[in-house]
Each structure stands twice: as structure tokens, then as C-alpha cells.
Amino acid sequence: MLDPSVRGVLDRINDAASGDRLRVVVAAPGGYGKTAFLGEITNSAVRVVDDAHLLDDSSLRELASEPLLVLAYRPWPRRAVLAELTRGAVVVPLAPFSREQVREFLHAPKPVVDFVFAQTGGVPALVERLGAVTEVSAEALSAFRSELDWIDPDLQKFLLAAEAGAAQRLDLLSALLDKDFDEVSDIIEAARATGLLAEDGTLLPLAHRAVGALTRAERRIAVRQKLAQLQLDRGGPVLDLVRPLLDTGIGGPVFVAAAREALSADPALAARLFKASTGGGAPSAETAAQWATASAMAGDLDAALRLADKVISASDTPHRRTAAEVAAVALAHRGQLARSTELFRWAATPYAAAFAGIGLIGTGHLSEETPPQPPTMLGGAASLMLQGVRQSVSGAETAALSTLVRASSMLEPAGGAVLLPDSPGALAALVAVHCGEPNVAESVLDRAVETGTGGVLMSVRHRLLQAWVHMLRGNLSVARETLMSVRGAFEPRDWIFAVALEVGVARRNSDLATLRRTWEQACEAVLRHPVDLFSLLPLGEFAAAAARLRDQDRLAPHLAQAAALLRALGDPPLWATQLHWSLLHAAIIDENSAAAEEHAAALALNRERNRYCAIVSAAAECWLDVVAGKVDADRVEEAARSLHAVGLWWDASRLAGQAAIRTSDRQAMVRLLDCARLLQGRPVSARRSAESDAPVVVEDAGKLSDREREVAQLVLEGMTYKQVGDRLFISAKTVEHHMARMRQRLGSTSRSELLAQLRHIVGSGS
């Protein structure tokens, strides 16, 4: 394992004759292999002395007369007599192992070598102590105990400071050790001599673990406390010093400072640090307000509301307004937009005034002018958010969407470091969905998720709105997967969207069992979430489900509140159109032609306002004609393709499919089925006859036509004939005919035998 130059010195020592004069110095930190080198000396004429730095001066002077002398010692402490004795000596340059030398020493594979080298820095004694492993054992650490127990107290303090990350902070070390800089430098040199430090003066990872594991806890805590206080006095960061002191029972100002540092990146940690700062006592009003902020940003709204309420209830504290803002944000996420708005108005800060304005509009009140916002990212975004929401109810739909998208972009650099009642990305997505711009909704939500806008508190809302866009497009499996990915304890505002998604996917899948099972949750979600402008999407979805389940009475009061809210705002087309569209479908499902006509008329009132209103209004009239049996294939196809263009992909496909099964014109039926399949994102058969309901002659009895394969796949998934028919835009009777033909062709004697054969055929891709 020796380098050629070192081996050359060793050979020279072993070849020296008794009359020669040779003096060799082996000076290196502990663990570098000095003793091992001395063990390779076989020349009995040579005087060999190990740990020469431990000899007193008189003993060292006695060695001056030795003609053949090899001295091994650590570079600290410096000894004048030792320096004089070794003047002009041959120096043996011992160094840590390279990565290749570690591999050769351990005879281990690369992952093991990489781990050991990273832990030990190649110090030979540490490599030998650790062995060929990929994790540090308790035995390997305990081997350091004898070294650490007997070192100088100042050196032990330095090692604890180094373990805390302050090895290179001479100012902190000087104050901690109560030494001047020269004395601190001497202590650092003594630490280097132990062989526990890396080249940059920090502890080697293995030594770092050992110091942390083997030093008494009270010593470590005392050193970290002192370092943190010193750093705080200098105005420096303290988080890394304080983090390991959590759960030790101590508290104080350093924990408050550390919590403020952690707030933007890790609000949950900040909340823990604020709690620890109290030492089990009652927090000050300032600490409680900041603790409430951290709890809200971490998603713990119960704690945030408790803490904020205590501060608001206190008198004569300037922190009541901060606490009111926190409580207002928490209540907005709880669906209590009216109460949230009251608190924002009471707080009367610039940010709060902007969010209060949004809340006023959301609860049906046109807001007054708000004061200018501070020139910050949050101030600019809050101002644009309010402006965009105002534009959305004043009829400036395109401007509203543009304004809210700009607000979202402005806030992206802040990431999760801001506490928001709602994000500009979520509002932009809602407006985009309401005005037929799904691509914009998708883009702005993707960016919000990527940048973490609003942190933990907003992440679920962004993901649920992404799922909503997928549902509108008919990507039902993706919508459900996205919904399942955010399963958990939803706040009421998120819960109403989550339940509406489950209801909406079940309705579109004709999954009546799931619809019935989820309906009670839907009713509870509506009860827990008062109607506001930003919850009209789930309300419309619930209306269609209520019609399917013949339970409209339970939803009627909430729909009446929604209508009153829209009237109070002047029935803004952007927000009213989507709700009337949903209620139109609820009326069609309920076979209530009068109500359907009423909603179609409401949509027609805004037909001239913008492209989206015109498309939806025309589609509504077309749908009513289809339900009445009047199918104009050209008109239906145009209406369906227009719906598809504004993001209502599932509705577009549904319109074409419903028209196909209601027309008596066979050619029109095939054409509309092709259109429905195309708008659904499914391939259109090259042989249209395979898409019709006519019998198909297949030469090979083991093969299925395209339509039969679809029917078989859905039946095997457990769908009823009616559910299969709804999915494929054919009647349940036609599904039954398909199954009968397959059973006859395959020669099945029972339904179970038919299903077994179909599993084999569909599963094998025949």
C-alpha cells in the first residue's frame, strides 16, 4: 500500500549499516499509518521511536546521539527540541488512501469503496476501523470513545463546534472558547493532528457521527446553545445550529429566529420551532401570530385558527391584524368566504384589502376601490387578482383571464413562501374553464404545481382543478387517478371539488352504484360549504347527479342561493353560462322540458357576448332538438365540434352519440357515431359497417369486430348493458344483440363460458 517514494525511504532504512548516519521523520496526523510504517522496519541497528511528541525535552535530547534514528510523531503539539532534533532529516510523506488504494485495501466492490472513502476521507486507520460496509455500525463508532474521552477540554469543545457546523467560524470559536484567534488556530491545529478533520477543516463524516453519538448530550446542547446565541447576536443564520435542539425542552429567542428562517422553505418545521421557543409556556402575541402563520402555511388550519384567535382576542397588541389575516386565509380554505372577507376587511392592511375585495365579489357584493398595494410580488399579484375577478363579473372575460394569468406568473418566484386565501393560478383556471379556454387552464395549473405556488395549502386545490380539466375532456381515468393522488383529509373548499369530481366521473361512466354511494357525501359537502362564486362548478355537477338520482329537492335551496348570488352581481355571463349549461343537462336528465327550455333561453340571452356563450347557446338548442327527436346531422356535428373546441370534449362526444341513436337515417347515424368516437379521442373504423348495429359476418369465428371487441371489453370490466350502451352511444338492446351474436359464433353454451372465452380473446389481443 506504500507509495514508491515512501517505500524507497523504508528500503534505505532497512539497508543502513551500523556505521551510517541516517535520521528519518514520520510526521502525520493520527491514523495516517505511522505505526504501521515503523512496523515495516527490520533493521535492528535503527533506533525507532513512536509518538515522539509525547516525550519530554530531556528524553528527546538523549536521542540526539543516535546515528540511525527514525522518529514518528504528530504535527501537534509543536516542540522546539523536536524541531531541532529532526533538522535536515529525511521526511516520509504519509497521506490518506486514494479511492483506488481503498479498493485495493478492502478488496470490495465500487459501492462499498465509495461509501467507505466518503466516510473516512481515506484515512487508513479509519478505513480499517470501518471495514467493507455500506453503513456505519455502532461498533465502529464506539471505537472512538477512548480518543474522545481523554482529549483536552478546549479541543473537545472545538470538535463539538465542528459537529455543529462552526469549524470554519473563527469569530464564533473565539467567543465559544474564550481565546484569541492565535490560540484558536492552535486548537484547530491540535484537532487536525488527531486525523479526524478533512482538508477543509471540517469533521470527516465518520468522525462527525462519532462526536455526535459519543459526547454527552448536555455538552452538545450547551455548545450548540452558545453558538446559536453568539450567531444570533451577530445577526447571522441560526437554523442549522438550532434544528438539532428541537425536542430537548429548551427554548428562547434563538428558536424564534430559527423559525423565521425556516418559515418560507419548511413551514411545518417553523411551527415546531415556534412551539419549542415557548419552552412549554404561553407564547407572546408576536410569536403566536407568527406561529399561526407557520401553521397555516403547513396546512394545519386548526392550530392556525386557535393561535390567531388568541391574538385577536388580546387587547393593545399590534399583531392582531396579522393574526386576523391568518384566520381569514384559513377560513377561506374552509369555505367560509363571507367570514373570511369580514376578517380581511377588519385587518385593513393593503394585502388584506385586496383579498377582501375578491371575497366580496365571491359572495355577491361588488367591491369598492382598494388602496394601492405595496410594490412587492405579493402586492402586485393581489392587486391583479382583484382586478381580474372584477373584470370577470363586468363582462371583460378575455381581459380577466389575461390579468389573472399575469398575476399567477408574477407570484411564481415566491413559490410556497406566501400565505394565500386562493392562488391567482386557481382563479385563472376557474375563469379559463368558465370561458372555454382549457389549454390556458392546464398551462397555468401546471406552472402553479411546478413552482409550488401557495405551498402545501394550495397544492391540493391546484391538483383538483387539473383533474377537473381532464374530466371535462373526457379523460376520466386520468381525472380519477389525479383525484386519488391527492386523497386525504380535505378542507371543505377542496372537499366539495373532490366529491364533485367523483360524482362527475361516475356520472360520465354511467356508474350508478358509485353515484349513489357518493351522493350522501356530496350533500354533506354542499352543506359544509356555503355557496360562493368560485364553487359554482361543483354545484352544477351535483345538479346533474341529483337529477339522475331523482333527489333534486335536497339541492334546490343551494341552487336558489347560487341564482341569487349571480343576480346580485348582474348575472355575469362568464360565471352564469357554465351553471346554466349544467342545469340544462340536469333538466334533460329529469325529462323536465320546461326547465330545460328556461336554461336554454338564459344561455341565449348572452349569445352575442362572446364566442363561448354563442357556442354553448347553439349547442343547448341543438341538444333540445335532439332530445325531441329532431336530428340535423350537419347541425349536430357543427355543435359537437364547437363544444370540443372550447374544452367540453365529453359533452361534445355525448351530443353526437345521443343524436346518432335518435336518428332514423342510417347514414347519418354512422356519420354521427364516427364523429362521437373521434371527439372522444378514439379511432374511427375504416369499415363503417363495423360501427353500425347491423350484423357483421366474420370469417374467423375466433376474431371479433372492432365494435364487438369494445362491447366485450366493457362487459368484462363489469359494466351493465345500459352502462356499455351509454359509453358507446348505442342502446342496451343493441349491446344485448352484440353479446348474443358473439355467443352464437363462439359456440358458448352459457354466459360464464362466453365470458371466459371473451377474456381469452380480448386478453390475448386476437
Per-residue pLDDT reduced to its tens digit, 709-762: 888 888 887 788 888 887 777 778 888 888 888 887 777 777 877 887 787 677
Q: Which pLDDT score, from 0 to 100, does residue 748 have? A: 74
| Lowest-confidence pick of 318-332, 463-477, 659-673 | 659-673
Q: Which pLDDT score, from 0 to 100, does residue 750 have? A: 76
Residue 343 CB contacts under 8 Å (≥ 6 apart), including other chains: 324, 325, 327, 328, 331
Helices and strands, number each (H, E), in the chain: 42, 4
**How many whole angstroms separate alpha carbon 682 and alpha carbon 685?**
10
Q: Which pLDDT score, from 0 to 100, does residue 545 have? A: 94
Q: Which pLDDT score, from 0 to 100, does residue 683 have? A: 56
| Lowest-confidence pick of 285-299, 356-370, 451-465, 673-687 | 673-687
Q: Say whether pLDDT at 765 is over 60.
A: no
Mean pLDDT of 154-158: 93
Q: Which pLDDT score, from 0 to 100, does residue 280 have? A: 81
Mean pLDDT of 683-695: 43
Residue 581 CB contacts under 8 Å (≥ 6 apart), including other chains: 540, 599, 603, 616, 620
Closest alpha carbon to 420 in 368, 366, 470, 459: 459
Residue 241 CB contacts under 8 Å (≥ 6 apart), including other chains: 164, 165, 166, 224, 227, 228, 231, 254, 258
Collapse the DSSP code of 595 into the 3-class scheme (helix H, G, I; strand E, B; otherwise coil) and give the result.
Answer: helix
Q: Which pLDDT score, from 0 to 100, does residue 695 have? A: 38
Between residues 232 and 317, the one the model is more confident about: 232
Between residues 714 and 100, the one the model is more confident about: 100
Other Cβ atoms less than 10 A from the Cβ of 15: the count is 10
Mean pLDDT of 113-118: 96
Q: Which pLDDT score, from 0 to 100, does residue 668 have? A: 87
Q: How many residues does the chain have?
A: 766
Percent of the chain with pLDDT over 70: 96
Per-residue pLDDT reduced to its tens digit, 41-64: 999 899 999 999 999 999 999 999
Q: Which pLDDT score, from 0 to 100, does residue 392 have? A: 94
Mean pLDDT of 361-381: 84
| Lowest-confidence pick of 405-414, 419-428, 469-478, 731-740 | 731-740
Closest alpha carbon to 660 in 648, 652, 671, 650: 671
Per-residue pLDDT reduced to its tens digit, 602-622: 999 999 888 999 999 999 999
Highest mean pLDDT among 149-158, 212-221, 267-276: 267-276
Between residues 111 and 487, the one the model is more confident about: 111
| Alpha-helical segments (H) within 473-535 | 476-485, 492-508, 512-528
Q: Which pLDDT score, from 0 to 100, does residue 684 have? A: 54
**How many whole angstroms separate alpha carbon 386 and alpha carbon 679?**
37
Identify whether the C-beta of residue 197 lies closer than 8 Å to the C-beta of residue 191: yes
Q: Say whether pLDDT at 362 is over 50.
A: yes
Q: Annotate 173-206 with b (16+ C-beta within 10 A) or e (fewer).
A: bbbbbebeeeebeebbebbbbbbbbbeeebbbbb
Q: Which pLDDT score, from 0 to 100, does residue 71 have? A: 94
pLDDT interval class at 18 (50, 70, 90):
confident
Q: Which domains does the chain have, with CATH numbers?
A: 4-91 (3.40.50.300), 99-245 (no CATH), 287-372 (1.25.40), 703-764 (1.10.10.10)
pLDDT interval class at 2 (50, 70, 90):
confident
Residue 503: which region, alpha, beta or left (left: phi > 0; alpha: psi -120 to 50)?
Answer: alpha
Closest alpha carbon to 225 in 279, 271, 186: 279
Q: Say whether pLDDT at 700 is over 80.
A: no
Identify whether the C-beta of residue 580 lies closer than 8 Å to the C-beta of residue 537: no
Q: Say whether pLDDT at 460 is over 60.
A: yes
pLDDT interval class at 630 (50, 70, 90):
very high
| Lowest-confidence pick of 19-33, 259-273, 653-667 | 653-667
pLDDT interval class at 693 (50, 70, 90):
very low
**How many whole angstroms separate alpha carbon 117 and alpha carbon 205?**
10
Q: Which pLDDT score, from 0 to 100, does residue 587 have? A: 94
| Alpha-helical segments (H) within 556-665 | 556-568, 573-589, 593-605, 611-627, 633-645, 649-662
Q: Which pLDDT score, from 0 to 100, does residue 698 have? A: 34
Mean per-residue pLDDT of the chain: 89
Q: How far is CA 655 from CA 582, 614, 638, 689, in A?
A: 14, 17, 11, 21
| Lowest-confidence pick of 280-284, 364-368, 420-424, 613-617 | 364-368
Q: Say whether pLDDT at 287 is over 60.
A: yes
Using the 8-state DSSP alphabet, how is residue 340 labeled?
Answer: H
Between residues 766 and 390, the one the model is more confident about: 390
pLDDT interval class at 226 (50, 70, 90):
very high
Q: What DSSP string describes 113-142?
A: HHHHHHHHTT-HHHHHHH-S-SS--HHHHH
Q: Which pLDDT score, from 0 to 100, does residue 703 have? A: 65
Q: How far is CA 173 from CA 151, 187, 234, 652, 710, in A?
A: 17, 10, 13, 72, 75
Q: CA end-to-end span of the chain, whole Å?
A: 66
Q: Say whether pLDDT at 702 is over 70.
A: no
Collapse the DSSP code of 424 into the 3-class scheme (helix H, G, I; strand E, B; otherwise coil) and give the result.
Answer: helix
Strands laid side by side in the 68-73 sheet: 47-49, 68-73, 22-27, 90-91
